[in-house]
A = this chain, B = another copy of it.
């Protein structure tokens, strides 16, 4: 077991073609830290939804010259607890739920034990996962 924290940080243009590889990089990192099975799937699913939301919503109102990026930060501490953050420099879009949409945050809420959404400066989702053994 590792005593020090491990950190993965990724920053990419907020384009759909980068989402899969951000997810793959996260999976590689989590596997090395003994995440597996359903928990590995669930964390990956939640990350995928948060990343897709950045691509789909964060920069819709932004000027085209803006630096439209997605950020991801995964921190595994000495106890194996994962803090996962997905963030952007865009603007959160308040919206009424529409039929056939609005699954992303619902899925994330179903998975993440603790979720905070900070929209004070872009959008930052923070999810905490205790490692299951």
Contact = CB atoms under 8 A, between A and B. Distances in A.
Interface residues of A, number: 28
A21 B15 CA distance: 24
Interface string A1-24: 011111111111101011011101
* Most B CB within 10 A of own CB, among A3, A5, A12: A12
Contacts of A21: 28-29, 31-32
Nearest to A32: B21
| Chain A interface main SS type | mixed
A2 to B, nearest CB: 4
Interface in A109-132: none
Given A9-B9, A9-B10, A25-B25, A32 B20 contact: yes
Nearest to A2: B13
A51 to B, nearest CB: 12
A68 interface: yes
| Top-4 shortest CB links A-B | A21-B32, A24-B28, A25-B25, A9-B9
14 contacts: A2-B12, A3-B13, A5-B11, A6-B18, A7-B9, A7-B10, A7-B12, A8-B9, A10-B29, A17-B32, A18-B32, A21-B31, A24-B25, A25-B28
